[in-house]
Structure 1
């Protein structure tokens, strides 16, 4: 199981329309939906965005154990993928339905409850989705190739959902704009779910190992598994930085650049380069190693973000150039941790003789979800610190201190968070990147056409 065919790579990668849409749109639009449509104070809105996502920290490892057990019983993770994706589509459309319950408190409670359901459904999709690369192929470089395909499609998914969703909201306007946007994203989620299930159908996976028998054994594994803990720490702080950046985009367009129409352009400028540079990051990983590529991408991302601290005085064209450079780095920091993860899982499964893919993916997605949830919450605190004025009018004027806070929350804060991962990316912790048994030497077997 070294080389995968085009159908499998593409089918698996199209699942990124599910993860991309749900990972992007709430972080991009839920906070302004709460502050500028439901008139929820900024700090409270940040807490509303955080609480349901924090549930993932507890539930995702449980979803991972259930997925591992399902793999042992049925030889496939597709049941969870299908059920989770379809349930997510329904609950996402409901999230922005705005039933109009008669007050800010009641409407906020509705958003919290439905967002909890969204997070639960997403766990049943994302956990097995992240576990699959370790099982679809044992090839060291094939995993990088599969991940670059996945992140390229993820970039397209983020671009589609992240650029079109705000355009739909602004084009239709008001509450109806959010309702139409919710249905649009739900359709993307359904299409992505069906595509990944069909794409991996019939593809042989690694022989299922016994599932982790107890939480005590899992905890012992995590204590001993230093390389995974460090990689997870890097991914968490960088996800937090990305989420903070995304939460700021709507506010930057309106109050820093002075045109709400720039929101989709900013988003496209950030995500679009990933569609072009994936072959570059694949070559970097093959020639210099995944860890070195991760470091290079992190530096490029952080430096470009730091330059955006001057967005208030720079010409808009130069702001978009810096955003594009940040997008190149962002593509790399998405590819390399996800390419390293299955290698770590394989080594740990060899050591323990037990299934680790599902529970590891559960812990991984829990940390990612927490980072993505904390980002808007953190940015909400930045808005509150700057004296941001919440209202039902998205065009309400803001004090200069709020505009400064928006700028710093879009640039310096995420730059620092992204750069915090650099000290953790040490070669002596992760060990040699090429191993004799990595599956890329010798004859390569194509498992589908």
Structure 2
């Protein structure tokens, strides 16, 4: 029987998700606000600036996945793309938040160009990195254990983004200087996390094949995996909902709670419960089944997101943070459980088609995930635009109309709840197509995270 994975290897792989958590969450949390309230870019244009690079990434990531599989066939590793992304992303990320003084249009162009390059660099790391769990062990319980470590590290990265980044902005004086300091500090976190994971994961043998496929042939072979695409649709809609909430947090903190610095506190309440909830959801999934727990968590998330609206309407910090913490409990499940199921759909497809191509599937997964995370701020900006939100730079103070206050609140609560609800049908379709194996045996459970 294959031995369980030692903790040092699990930690070495998982630490890369600190970096992916930072990059996935931070632009969604701060970039729209940076554009509208620091650079003075109109909300509609700011939303387009954020969406455009990720639309490009939706095209690039599947191609990167196919290239990663070809590299793995030739070398048995996915190292080269990962190290390229790990070394280039930190500087490009800092560039996103370092727009020089110029008019709003020039600032928008600067951010758009830097964000396109940063998103591409991120995909060079992320796509092969996400492919590794399907190859990390032949044992399902060990693959699930690796995903638990990854989600814990992902939570730490998201907390660093949401808990520390706004604090760095404030400590460095806010405005342009504060965001530049934040970009440099978070760039250093990206460098350390991603390079460490790249080097310490070189032991994982990648065995796609048996033959290398070009991008067109790879996608043709992959399209029969209906369970994967149902799961991918579910996760992308939920990522979109989470991205909308991230984009709305600074606006709710500023205009409903009266203190921008509460953005960090709200974010910790939304994400922090993951550190405790990950092992709980992992144990529940082993006991009752991953898909069943996923359905319960999704239904609970829909109800809890709706409850945020009356909590925010009180404009009292306590109720908002309490409900946000409850959201965080179910958010944990919506991260851990689909990521646990992802490598299983990849391995099942290899048995079906005779062609293992984890990189191709994770390229598609990354494309839709990053696209959803980008569309979130864009969708939230639409809510701001149609409710007459007034943009300003840091030298101006504006009073928002009542319609804008209502719009930014509903965009943070009701809109995500609707998106979570829309993700239910593809999850039910996934349940019909995916045959979940029995829970881990007792001797295997002792090794689980």
Measured against the shorter chain, the TM-score band is: over 0.9
The aligned residue for residue 185 of structure 1 is: 186
Asked whether 1:398 is paired with 2:400, we answer yes
Shift of 1:138: 2.1
The aligned residue for residue 45 of structure 2 is: 44
Match among 432, 435, 443 for residue 432 of structure 1: 435
**Partner-residue secondary structure (3-state), 2:77:** coil
Ranges of 4+ aligned residues in structure 1 off by more than 6 Å: 440-444
CA contact (8 A) 1:18 1:85 kept: no
Shift in alpha-carbon separation, 1:175–1:410, aligned structure 2, 3 A: same
Mind listing any 5+ residue stretches in structure 2 that lack a counterpart?
Answer: 445-449
Shift of 1:213: 2.1
CA contact (8 A) 2:222 2:361 kept: no
Asked whether 1:95 is paired with 2:87, we answer no
Q: Deviations over 1:64-92 (max 9, x none)?
A: 01111111111111221111011111100
Q: Structure 1 length normalisation: TM-score?
A: 0.94
Shift of 1:171: 2.3
CA contact (8 A) 2:59 2:367 kept: yes
Shift in alpha-carbon separation, 1:208–1:424, aligned structure 2, 3 A: closer
Shift of 1:12: 0.9
The aligned residue for residue 17 of structure 2 is: 16
Query: Equivalents in 2 of 1:191, 1:340: separation in Å?
Result: 28
CA contact (8 A) 1:211 1:355 kept: no
Q: Deviations over 1:261-300 (max 9, x none)?
A: 2111000110100001111011011011111121122122
Query: Equivalents in 2 of 1:428, 1:114: separation in Å?
Result: 40
173-182 or 216-225: bigger deviation: 216-225
Query: Equivalents in 1 of 2:211, 2:161: separation in Å?
Result: 36
Shift in alpha-carbon separation, 1:212–1:412, aligned structure 2, 3 A: farther
Question: How large is the Cα RMSD of the aligned pairs?
Answer: 2.0
CA contact (8 A) 1:53 1:369 kept: yes
The aligned residue for residue 264 of structure 1 is: 264
CA contact (8 A) 1:272 1:327 kept: yes
Shift of 1:130: 0.6
238-247 or 409-418: bigger deviation: 409-418
Shift in alpha-carbon separation, 1:318–1:134, aligned structure 2, 3 A: same
The aligned residue for residue 128 of structure 2 is: 128
Asked whether 1:369 is paired with 2:384, we answer no
- Where do residues 120-159 of structure 1 align in structure 2 (5 Å cutoff)? 120-159=120-159
Shift of 1:443: 9.0
The aligned residue for residue 109 of structure 1 is: 109
CA contact (8 A) 2:244 2:380 kept: yes
Query: Equivalents in 1 of 2:398, 2:6: separation in Å?
Result: 53
Query: Equivalents in 2 of 1:51, 1:207: separation in Å?
Result: 34
Shift of 1:206: 5.0
Asked whether 1:253 is paired with 2:253, we answer yes
Asked whether 1:72 is paired with 2:63, we answer no
221-230 or 120-129: bigger deviation: 221-230
Mind listing any 5+ residue stretches in structure 1 that lack a counterpart?
Answer: 445-449
Match among 420, 423, 447 for residue 421 of structure 1: 423
Shift of 1:60: 0.2
- Where do residues 293-304 of structure 1 align in structure 2 (5 Å cutoff)? 293-304=293-304
Query: Equivalents in 1 of 2:403, 2:74: separation in Å?
Result: 58
The aligned residue for residue 447 of structure 1 is: none
Shift of 1:314: 5.7
Aligned length: 441
Shift of 1:192: 0.7
**Partner-residue secondary structure (3-state), 1:39:** coil
